[in-house]
Chain A
């Protein structure tokens, strides 16, 4: 669980690594969405995630396609 004042970070998906499993969209549907045609995950929201949750998403991605980019200003 993230503390309310936890730093927020934005996410990125490496589209060459993504194999369209959909774990990210299931966990954070407001941040990730799989393409309707290609089922490749893309970041659809720039608000980002609390760093601890972001680390969990990075960890849970089976293909290692998700990374943390930078703190959201």
Chain B
């Protein structure tokens, strides 16, 4: 097969983790969206082999999402960097699979995350949100991440999993280390948490994944002795096509649920709070008309775009947006770009809590990998906003956020806010 020329080359860098220390490079995304067809973005140090096609327009993200036969999640990694076959296999989860494996794995957990099941968690989430907001307001503010945005979603997902609430801080510590793995690399020594596995075989190349695997195993033993009415028990007892999950499938599922159930929703809550602090007119509008809360929730999530991208790998030669993509090429969907596409969003850079037509792709572009926790995340953001509204909490920005160098999670490690 003759290698096709990889042109045009991207007019902006959207892949270097350090770019995100200044926030999402919206001007760069705009420049890329304006180029006809797709642009080729260099990445890594192996020349054309490690670069990727940057998909930044809303319509193109959708086309990739909805065509998993051509744009595979299983044959390459779903992050930008490449993995050897054994490393890919060791970390294989729902995220890194195609049908029929994906269908089988998804069905093991789908019931726990439907809109109807999600409503049954609302009271629990509201109680946690009320407690955190009250404490935060009583102290007059502080680090919003540490005091509200991190504890709320981790406590909710741990309650759903059946993990003791007192381990919430440990779980946050571990998943924070995983985010480092998508940036400049782990700050941990290889043998942290007693790890003996080569880190290239661990999710996010992080020894913190070893700690999560160990914790998953501890939960497995607990639930084998005494089953509970929780998601860990469901994972262990589930039979998909007559077979239980393998040990590796179970621990990767556990790790995925703990990671995705907290880092993402946390990120939405951080950017949401910052957006309301920076746009007090929008908070006042919501206070005046709380019925806007449902559109406000989706606007917060669009604004935040917590997961910046997901990668696919072309399973065959295929055309997208007039560009010829060769089998094996990386194709990367940048939700952060699609969510500001002026072809779809009126005044895309405005934070508008009443935005009625808001088909954002923060939960993915509408294909089978649609975010498992989408309804849970929406519910959590909604109860947070409602509990703030109920207490007339008005947030003010005290300092610039400390952003994370990650091209995968739109992460903020801390941000000081005050309650006016």
* A residues with CB within 8 A of B: 16-17, 19-23, 25-26, 34, 37-40, 59-60, 62-64
| Contact, CB under 8 Å: A19 / B116 | no
| Contact, CB under 8 Å: B368 / A22 | no
- Residues in A whose Cβ lies below 8 Å from that of B106: 19-20
| Contact, CB under 8 Å: A38 / B115 | no
Complex Cα spacing A60 to B66, Å:
10
| Contact, CB under 8 Å: A19 / B368 | yes
Q: In the complex, which of the residues A16, A37, A39, A63 contacts B368, with contact meaning CB atoms closer than 8 Å? A: A63
Complex Cα spacing A25 to B102, Å:
21
Count, chain B residues at interface, CB 8 A? 19
Q: Say whether B110 faces chain A, with CB atoms less than 8 Å apart.
A: yes
| Contact, CB under 8 Å: A34 / B116 | yes
Complex Cα spacing A63 to B366, Å:
8
| Contact, CB under 8 Å: A19 / B375 | no
Beyond A26-B375, A62-B366, is A19–B103 a contact (Cβ under 8 Å)?
yes
| Contact, CB under 8 Å: B114 / A38 | no
Beyond A38-B107, A39-B107, is A20–B114 a contact (Cβ under 8 Å)?
yes
Interface string of B187-218 (1 = CB under 8 A from A): 00000000000000000000000000000000
Beyond A20-B106, A20-B110, is A26–B115 a contact (Cβ under 8 Å)?
yes
Interface string of B85-120 (1 = CB under 8 A from A): 000000000000000001100110011011110000
Complex Cα spacing A4 to B412, Å:
49
Complex Cα spacing A60 to B366, Å:
7
Contacts beyond the supplied A20-B110, A25-B115, A25-B116: 12 A-B pairs with Cβ under 8 Å: A19-B106, A19-B107, A21-B114, A21-B374, A22-B113, A26-B375, A34-B114, A39-B110, A59-B366, A62-B368, A63-B368, A64-B66
- Residues in A whose Cβ lies below 8 Å from that of B370: 21, 23, 62
Q: Say whether B162 faces chain A, with CB atoms less than 8 Å apart.
A: no
19 A–B contacts from the bound complex (CB under 8 Å): A17-B103, A19-B103, A19-B106, A21-B110, A21-B370, A21-B374, A22-B113, A22-B114, A22-B115, A22-B375, A25-B114, A25-B116, A37-B111, A39-B107, A39-B114, A59-B366, A62-B364, A64-B66, A64-B368
Query: Which residues of B in the span 322-375 have a Cβ within 8 Å of any Cβ on A?
Result: 364, 366-370, 374-375
Complex Cα spacing A23 to B370, Å:
10
Nearest chain B CB to A8's CB is how many angstroms away?
Answer: 25
- Residues in A whose Cβ lies below 8 Å from that of B114: 20-22, 25, 34, 39
- Residues in B whose Cβ lies below 8 Å from that of A60: 366
Complex Cα spacing A54 to B122, Å:
30
Among residues of B, the one whose C-beta sits closest to the C-beta of A59 is: B366
